[in-house]
Amino acid sequence: MIKACIFDLDGTLTDTLESLAYSVQLTLEEMGLQKITKEQCKSFVGNGARRLMELSLQAAGADPCERLEEGMRIYGRIFDANCTYHVTPYEGIVSTLKNLKDRGIKTAVLSNKPDEQADKVVREIFGDGVFDFVQGQKEGVKRKPDPEGVYQAAEALEVKKEECLYIGDSEVDVETGHRAQVSTVAVSWGFRERKELLEAGAERIIDRPEELLQFV
Same domain, 44 and 9: no
Q: Which residues are within 8 A (CB) of 171 and not within 5 positions of it... i.e. 6 or more apart?
A: 46, 192, 196, 197, 199, 200
Directed axis angle between helix 64-82 and helix 49-59, to 10°? Answer: 120
Can you state the percent helix, strand and coil of the chain, rounding each to 5? 50, 15, 35
Per-residue pLDDT tens digits of the chain, which is 216 residues long = 999 999 999 999 999 999 999 999 999 999 999 999 999 999 999 999 999 999 999 999 999 999 999 999 999 999 999 999 999 999 999 999 999 999 999 999 999 999 999 999 999 999 999 999 999 999 888 999 999 999 999 999 999 999 999 999 999 999 999 999 999 999 999 999 999 999 999 999 999 999 999 999
- Answering whether pTM is above 0.75, one says yes
Q: Any idea what the CATH number is for the domain that residue 71 is in?
A: 1.10.150.240
Q: Which of these three, 28, 62, 82, is where a domain ends?
A: 82
Q: State whether 162 and 209 are in the same domain.
A: yes
- Considering the domain architecture, whether residues 120 and 175 belong to the same structural domain is answered as yes
97 & 107 share domain? yes
Question: CA-to-CA distance for 59 and 33, rounded, in angstroms?
Answer: 10
- CATH code where residue 123 lies: 3.40.50.1000
Q: Are residues 102 and 52 in the same domain?
A: no
Among 37, 55, 82, identify where a domain stops.
Answer: 82
Residue 123 and residue 76 share a domain: no
Q: Are residues 52 and 127 in the same domain?
A: no
28 C-beta neighbours (distance < 10 Å), count: 23
Question: Do 60 and 74 reside in the same domain of the chain?
Answer: yes
Mean pLDDT of the chain: 97
Expressed as residue numbers, the domain containing 151 is 4-15+87-215
Percent pLDDT > 90 in the chain is: 99
Distances (CA, A) of 161 to 144, 157, 165, 181, 182: 16, 10, 8, 8, 6
